[in-house]
Structure 1
Amino acid sequence: MSSLTDPLRPVDVVPAKMPHPPRNALPDGTCDTHSHVFGPYQDFPFVTASNYPPPLAPCPTYLAMLDTIGASRGVLVQPAPYGTDNAALVAALQAGAGRIRGVAVTQRDVTDEALRHLDSKGVRALRFNEMPSPQTGKPFVGSVGLEVALSLASRMKALDWHAQVWARCSDVPAITEELERAGLSVVFEHMTCFDPSLGTDHRDFKNVLALLREGRVGVKLALCRVSKQAPGYEDLRPFHDLMIEANARQLVWSSDWPYVRMADAAPDVGDLLNTFHEWVDDASLRETILVDNPARIYRFDD
């Protein structure tokens, strides 16, 4: 059993940054499609030591965050330090009582029974990480790569699950083609992690726009991991506009709360929603992205 000083049961944790309410009320059914729960660590220790100061963001804190911003739904994503131990995620899905859906992480040797259990609790996708750690250049410890998605594809398809992928923008077309051959749809995190300094005419971003127009990928509109101009994120505005113009039905909004590895640069979720409201001035488009698309992709009506 881990001791209280074991890094798998962190003691020195960072409080989760709680938001202010956004200026404008959100549409009924609004969903934040990318957040994480961490802890309580005496109940849910990490599987591997974290390479960032661990936040204290247990389920009640997460639900309070959703309540504060006025989001009636949310999607929780398994973070790397928990590896394939989805216990904290599943406990939060149960506590959400139908309000929350999940994106889990498993290895290829996961049993059919375990997959069915995750599905019954509200998991609708598995997460795969092709983004190298900025510290080591290697995969994040605890993450699972695309090769596992390909080995699990038939079982995921049987559950009507999709693949959620964190990857570099340049790798999006090849990953999409591999997953399509395996019969899986895909949602990419963090706006596909393009480099805004390269401009909207760069081939990598134009490839993403083409895939969006064809309806072959979904993309999470999350600003904070991509922009170099926080807190206004004006460097992302033209990219954001072009994604919506390409195919708003393939986009969902996400906060990325509680902002691991961001320290003082962590945004306020209410401010992110204010920015979204300013950038998307059409109420029907806002509802498409905030409500309709996540309801379809994460099957909230099941």
Structure 2
Amino acid sequence: MPAGACDSHCHIFGPTHTFPFAPGRTFTPPEAPRERLRELHRLLGLERAVIVQSACHGTDHSALLDALEAGGGRCRGVAIIDSTTPPEEVRRLHEAGVRGARLHFTPHLGSAPSEEEIRSVVGLVRPYDWHIALHVQGDGIADHEELVRSIPLPVVVDHMARVDLRDGPESRAVSALRGLLQTGRVWVKISGADRLATAPPRMDDSAELARLLVTDAPERVVWGTDFPHPNTHGFMPDDGDLTDLLSEIASGSADLKRILVDNPTRCFDFDETGPAS
């Protein structure tokens, strides 16, 4: 891994005796505290991380804030906020290292936000130049293409939009995703290769899509493990295999450094001088 390599999409869960899950959550994952995440990153040679607030913790960011503080400048966060979130809470999250707000359009995580709710979230985070993280699946990126184009902030699409690769590389969803990347304001995480693969444990088809996206927008592509792979059913990937897959996606050391270091530094507002010691 190049120096300063970043896992741009990972989660922490609990420990629940300190950071309980939200009462109205739609799923209950096994605990995965920040110590486990740090151990994984040491093993893989990853020095930075973007920790994405999980829906199972709702809008209580206590676990995320604890991890950001413990990270000593190595971590950034993506929050879940809504129209009831006070502006002073957004300020507090920003000062702690949060740089994005995630919107879910996936039925297993609850109802999608309304247009009014989206406008409220954008209004709350716009003063801090956060990005909007978009979590969609199937044809969702095509269904919400106009919404993405209307958001006056950078948009980061999670997990290659979780398109259905059984529909082929020329599908409506893939075409919409590639078109949005050409706007210059949309980024994509080439994470979740295991989720997209049509014949796991082989991930050739999802690696092929990732290569295509890297070719389309080399300056707006980031990568993540998605540890600890919540709501995964059936095939559970090994994080080492997902990391090794980068050798099939990046054409060389320059591409690898761009995906793992340069792009995350810009997208998530890391200190360009390098991680804290």
In the other structure, the counterpart of 2:254 is 284
Instruction: Point out where structure 2 has 5 or more consecutive residues left out of the alignment.
Output: 273-277
State the percentage of identical aligned residues: 33
* Aligned Cα root-mean-square deviation (Å): 1.9
1:113-161 Cα distance to aligned partner (Å, 9 max, x none): 111000011000011101112xxxxxx24x7626333212233111110
Question: Residue 128 of structure 1 corresponds to which residue in structure 2?
Answer: 103
> Which residue does the alignment assign to 2:84?
109
Shift of 1:105: 0.6
Aligned to 2:15: 40
Secondary structure, in 3 states, of the residue corresponding to 1:201?
coil
- Pair 1:265 & 2:235 matched: yes
Matched, 1:275 2:245: yes
Deviation at 1:185, TM superposition (A): 1.6
User: Aligned letter for 1:149?
Assistant: I
Is 1:171 aligned to residue 143 of structure 2? Answer: no
Aligned to 2:69: 94
Shift of 1:194: 0.9
| Distance across 1 between alignment mates of 2:118 and 2:262 | 26
Shift of 1:267: 1.1
Map 1:101-250 onto structure 2 (within 5 A). 101-133=76-108, 140-141=109-110, 145=113, 147=115, 148-168=117-137, 170-173=139-142, 175-222=144-191, 223-250=193-220
- How far does the alpha carbon of each residue in 1:256-292 deviate from its partner, in whole angstroms, 9 at most, with x for none? 1001222662211111111111332321111111111
Q: Which residue of 1 aligns with 2:275?
A: none
Of structures 1 and 2, the larger Rg is shown by 1
TM-score (norm 2): 0.91
Q: What is the TM-score when the length of structure 1 is the normalising length?
A: 0.84
The one-character-per-residue Cα deviations of 1:178-216 (angstroms, maximum 9, x if unpaired) are 344341221111101111111112232122112213323
Count of matched residue positions in the alignment of Structure 1 and Structure 2: 270
- Taking the aligned partners of 2:125 and 2:95, their CA distance within structure 1 comes to 14
Q: Is the 8 A contact 1:127 1:144 kept in 2?
A: no
* Matched residue type, 1:145: P
1:128 aligned counterpart, secondary structure: strand
The 1:261–1:199 alpha-carbon spacing in structure 2 relative to 1, beyond 3 Å, is same
Determine helix, strand or coil for the equivalent of 1:124: strand
CA distance, structure 2, for counterparts of residue 146 and residue 73 of structure 1: 33
